[in-house]
Structure 1
Amino acid sequence: MANVTMYCTGVCPYCTMAEKLLNKKGVTEINKIRIDVEAGRKEEMMERTGRRTVPQIYIDDFHVGGFDDLSALDMEGKLEPLLTK
Protein backbone atom coordinates (compact mmCIF):
# COMPACT_ATOMS: atom_id res chain seq x y z
CA MET A 1 0.00 0.00 0.00
CA ALA A 2 1.23 3.47 -0.85
CA ASN A 3 2.27 6.05 1.74
CA VAL A 4 -0.51 8.65 2.15
CA THR A 5 0.14 12.08 3.65
CA MET A 6 -2.60 14.62 4.26
CA TYR A 7 -2.26 18.22 5.37
CA CYS A 8 -5.40 18.88 7.40
CA THR A 9 -7.07 20.67 10.30
CA GLY A 10 -9.19 19.34 13.13
CA VAL A 11 -12.44 20.93 11.91
CA CYS A 12 -12.28 20.39 8.14
CA PRO A 13 -15.25 18.43 6.72
CA TYR A 14 -13.41 17.81 3.43
CA CYS A 15 -10.50 16.30 5.38
CA THR A 16 -12.94 13.92 7.06
CA MET A 17 -14.52 12.98 3.72
CA ALA A 18 -11.07 12.39 2.20
CA GLU A 19 -10.10 10.15 5.10
CA LYS A 20 -13.34 8.16 4.77
CA LEU A 21 -12.79 7.66 1.02
CA LEU A 22 -9.20 6.56 1.57
CA ASN A 23 -10.28 4.17 4.34
CA LYS A 24 -12.92 2.73 1.99
CA LYS A 25 -10.12 2.08 -0.51
CA GLY A 26 -8.14 0.13 2.09
CA VAL A 27 -5.83 2.83 3.43
CA THR A 28 -5.41 2.10 7.13
CA GLU A 29 -2.69 4.63 7.92
CA ILE A 30 -2.62 8.30 6.91
CA ASN A 31 0.25 10.55 7.92
CA LYS A 32 -1.76 13.59 9.04
CA ILE A 33 0.01 16.92 9.22
CA ARG A 34 -2.16 19.26 11.30
CA ILE A 35 -1.54 22.77 9.99
CA ASP A 36 -3.77 24.23 12.73
CA VAL A 37 -1.65 22.98 15.63
CA GLU A 38 1.84 22.36 14.22
CA ALA A 39 3.84 25.58 13.88
CA GLY A 40 5.17 26.29 10.39
CA ARG A 41 3.24 23.49 8.73
CA LYS A 42 0.76 25.78 6.91
CA GLU A 43 3.66 27.65 5.29
CA GLU A 44 5.30 24.32 4.42
CA MET A 45 2.06 23.12 2.80
CA MET A 46 1.62 26.31 0.77
CA GLU A 47 5.22 26.21 -0.43
CA ARG A 48 5.06 22.51 -1.29
CA THR A 49 1.63 22.52 -2.98
CA GLY A 50 1.06 26.10 -4.11
CA ARG A 51 -2.35 25.91 -2.44
CA ARG A 52 -3.83 27.44 0.71
CA THR A 53 -6.73 25.09 1.47
CA VAL A 54 -6.95 21.71 3.21
CA PRO A 55 -6.88 18.88 2.69
CA GLN A 56 -3.79 18.59 0.52
CA ILE A 57 -3.15 14.93 -0.14
CA TYR A 58 -0.03 13.13 -1.30
CA ILE A 59 0.12 9.51 -2.36
CA ASP A 60 3.81 8.70 -2.11
CA ASP A 61 5.38 11.70 -3.92
CA PHE A 62 2.35 12.40 -6.14
CA HIS A 63 0.37 15.50 -5.17
CA VAL A 64 -3.29 14.55 -5.56
CA GLY A 65 -4.65 17.91 -4.38
CA GLY A 66 -7.80 18.30 -2.31
CA PHE A 67 -10.89 16.19 -1.71
CA ASP A 68 -12.47 17.08 -5.07
CA ASP A 69 -9.29 15.96 -6.84
CA LEU A 70 -9.20 12.73 -4.81
CA SER A 71 -12.86 12.04 -5.57
CA ALA A 72 -12.33 12.73 -9.29
CA LEU A 73 -9.41 10.25 -9.38
CA ASP A 74 -11.66 7.67 -7.74
CA MET A 75 -14.49 8.23 -10.25
CA GLU A 76 -12.00 7.90 -13.13
CA GLY A 77 -10.73 4.60 -11.72
CA LYS A 78 -7.26 6.04 -11.17
CA LEU A 79 -7.15 6.13 -7.35
CA GLU A 80 -6.75 2.42 -6.60
CA PRO A 81 -3.79 1.96 -8.99
CA LEU A 82 -2.01 4.84 -7.22
CA LEU A 83 -2.67 3.30 -3.83
CA THR A 84 -1.53 -0.19 -4.76
CA LYS A 85 1.51 0.45 -6.98
Structure 2
Amino acid sequence: MKTVEIYTSSLCGFCHAAKRLLNKKGVKFTEISVDGDRALRAKMTKRAQGRTSVPQIFIGKEHIGGCDELHGLERQGALDIMLEG
Protein backbone atom coordinates (compact mmCIF):
# COMPACT_ATOMS: atom_id res chain seq x y z
CA MET A 1 0.00 0.00 0.00
CA LYS A 2 1.25 3.48 -0.86
CA THR A 3 2.03 5.96 1.88
CA VAL A 4 -0.68 8.48 2.70
CA GLU A 5 0.00 11.91 4.18
CA ILE A 6 -2.70 14.33 5.24
CA TYR A 7 -2.08 17.92 6.30
CA THR A 8 -4.70 18.94 8.85
CA SER A 9 -5.89 21.49 11.36
CA SER A 10 -7.58 20.44 14.60
CA LEU A 11 -10.69 22.61 14.07
CA CYS A 12 -11.28 21.51 10.47
CA GLY A 13 -14.43 19.42 9.95
CA PHE A 14 -13.28 18.40 6.47
CA CYS A 15 -10.03 17.10 7.98
CA HIS A 16 -11.99 14.97 10.43
CA ALA A 17 -14.22 13.65 7.62
CA ALA A 18 -11.22 12.71 5.49
CA LYS A 19 -9.54 10.94 8.40
CA ARG A 20 -12.80 9.08 9.20
CA LEU A 21 -12.93 7.72 5.66
CA LEU A 22 -9.30 6.62 5.75
CA ASN A 23 -9.76 5.01 9.17
CA LYS A 24 -12.96 3.26 8.01
CA LYS A 25 -11.00 1.76 5.14
CA GLY A 26 -8.17 0.71 7.45
CA VAL A 27 -5.69 2.99 5.71
CA LYS A 28 -2.64 3.93 7.76
CA PHE A 29 -1.71 7.56 7.25
CA THR A 30 0.65 10.18 8.56
CA GLU A 31 -1.16 13.24 9.90
CA ILE A 32 0.73 16.51 9.71
CA SER A 33 -0.91 19.22 11.79
CA VAL A 34 -0.29 22.74 10.51
CA ASP A 35 -1.91 24.39 13.54
CA GLY A 36 0.07 27.52 14.37
CA ASP A 37 3.06 26.49 12.25
CA ARG A 38 3.54 28.97 9.40
CA ALA A 39 6.62 27.21 8.03
CA LEU A 40 4.83 23.87 7.87
CA ARG A 41 1.77 25.46 6.26
CA ALA A 42 4.05 27.10 3.68
CA LYS A 43 5.62 23.70 2.94
CA MET A 44 2.14 22.19 2.53
CA THR A 45 1.09 25.03 0.21
CA LYS A 46 4.16 24.51 -1.95
CA ARG A 47 3.59 20.74 -2.14
CA ALA A 48 -0.11 21.32 -2.90
CA GLN A 49 0.69 23.63 -5.82
CA GLY A 50 -0.57 26.76 -4.08
CA ARG A 51 -3.60 25.34 -2.30
CA THR A 52 -3.78 26.75 1.22
CA SER A 53 -6.84 25.01 2.66
CA VAL A 54 -6.78 21.86 4.74
CA PRO A 55 -6.87 18.99 4.41
CA GLN A 56 -4.33 18.45 1.68
CA ILE A 57 -3.88 14.77 0.95
CA PHE A 58 -1.04 12.94 -0.77
CA ILE A 59 -1.05 9.30 -1.83
CA GLY A 60 2.46 8.23 -2.63
CA LYS A 61 3.98 11.26 -4.31
CA GLU A 62 0.67 12.29 -5.90
CA HIS A 63 -1.34 15.21 -4.55
CA ILE A 64 -5.00 14.27 -4.71
CA GLY A 65 -6.45 17.42 -3.15
CA GLY A 66 -8.76 17.72 -0.19
CA CYS A 67 -11.70 15.98 1.43
CA ASP A 68 -14.06 16.37 -1.54
CA GLU A 69 -11.52 14.83 -3.91
CA LEU A 70 -10.82 11.96 -1.50
CA HIS A 71 -14.52 11.13 -1.19
CA GLY A 72 -14.94 11.51 -4.96
CA LEU A 73 -12.23 8.92 -5.55
CA GLU A 74 -13.99 6.60 -3.12
CA ARG A 75 -17.36 7.03 -4.89
CA GLN A 76 -15.72 6.28 -8.26
CA GLY A 77 -14.03 3.17 -6.90
CA ALA A 78 -10.62 4.67 -7.69
CA LEU A 79 -9.31 5.18 -4.14
CA ASP A 80 -8.49 1.52 -3.52
CA ILE A 81 -6.69 1.34 -6.86
CA MET A 82 -4.63 4.45 -6.02
CA LEU A 83 -3.74 3.09 -2.60
CA GLU A 84 -2.55 -0.23 -4.01
CA GLY A 85 -0.68 1.45 -6.85
Q: TM-score, normalised by structure 1?
A: 0.90
Alignment match, 2:52:
52
* Distance in structure 2 (CA, Å) of the matches to 1:38 and 1:52: 13
Deviation digits for residues 38-62 of structure 1 (CA, Å, limit 9, x no counterpart): 4511111111111010000001111
* Distance in structure 1 (CA, Å) of the matches to 2:22 and 2:83: 9
- Number of aligned positions between the proteins: 84
* Structure 1 unmatched runs, 5+: none
Alignment match, 1:26:
26
Are the structure 2 counterparts of residues 26 and 15 from structure 1 closer, same or farther at C-alpha, using a change threshold of 3 Å?
same
Instruction: Give 1:4's aligned amino acid.
Output: V
Alignment RMSD = 1.2
* Distance in structure 1 (CA, Å) of the matches to 2:56 and 2:14: 10
* Structure 2 unmatched runs, 5+: none
Confirm or deny that 1:68 pairs with 2:68. Answer: yes
* Identity score, percent: 39
3-state SS of 1:40 partner: helix
* Distance in structure 2 (CA, Å) of the matches to 1:26 and 1:82: 14
Which 4+ residue blocks in structure 1 deviate beyond 6 angstroms? none
Deviation digits for residues 34-85 of structure 1 (CA, Å, limit 9, x no counterpart): 1114451111111111101000000111111000000111111100011122
Q: TM-score, normalised by structure 2?
A: 0.90
Instruction: Give 2:30's aligned amino acid.
Output: N
